[in-house]
Copies of this chain bind each other. A is one copy, B any other.
Amino acid sequence: MRTAYQEQLHSLNTILGEMCDLAGSAMERGTRSLLQADLAIAEEVISENDRMNDLATRAEEQAFGLLALQAPVAGDLRGIVSALQIVSDADRMGALALHVAKVARRRHPAKTLPEEVAGYFAEMGRLAVHLARNAREALDSQDPQAAIRLEEDDDAMDDLHRHLFTVLMDREWEHGVASAIDITLLGRYYERFADHAVMIGRRVVFQATGKTLADLDV
């Protein structure tokens, strides 16, 4: 039978999972609003960000409650402190998806992305959603292997991000500086989104084992 403590910890992890799902869904729709210059979807992502803040507040309150009332030690303590850090990461992922939607809204009805780079963002969006899903799975399974898959997806994101810059810096680039600025910032948002998902994976490994990936030598 589960203790009240385990129930509360489980409930905290459920909120963290919801936060990852919300971040992934926001990034999926943020990318769609960007690729299709769809104002309605952009507005939806922007207005939903309050929900992320509510979840973050609830998660922090639960973590505080667990720390204060249960005075946990060792593994339990590690779990709760990691949870607090995961809240920050997932919250930040949501903020980055919000930034993407805001760029789409700012440029509407124009498309933000010239044809040459649209494919990069479609792929970065797909990877970002995948990373959010894997972060959630890592949380649920507490499996170090899931954390490793996150690192691999992040490498793919970094590659795309680098290639994107070579397209921008090509002499043939004819869409001007304003467009290059948008694309530079957008690229950075996707790259940072991936970084935070990776951090969630690493914190899960620490949560589950008390070790870093390097310690585990996996």
Contacts and interface: CB of A to CB of B under 8 A. Distances in A.
Give the oligomeric copy count: 2
Given A64-B81, A73-B68, A77-B68, A177 B173 contact: yes
A215 to B, nearest CB: 13
A178 B181 CA distance: 10
Nearest to A175: B177
Contact of A84 (B73, B81, B165, B180): B81
A1 interface: no
Contact of A67 (B67, B181, B185): B67
13 contacts: A63-B81, A64-B78, A67-B67, A67-B81, A68-B73, A68-B77, A71-B71, A168-B177, A168-B181, A169-B177, A180-B180, A184-B185, A188-B188
Given A64-B78, A168-B178, 15 more contacts: A63-B81, A64-B77, A64-B81, A68-B77, A81-B84, A84-B85, A85-B88, A88-B88, A168-B181, A169-B178, A173-B177, A180-B180, A180-B181, A180-B184, A181-B184
Interface of A: 63-64, 67-68, 71, 73-74, 77-78, 81, 84-85, 88, 165, 168-169, 173, 177-178, 180-181, 184-185, 188
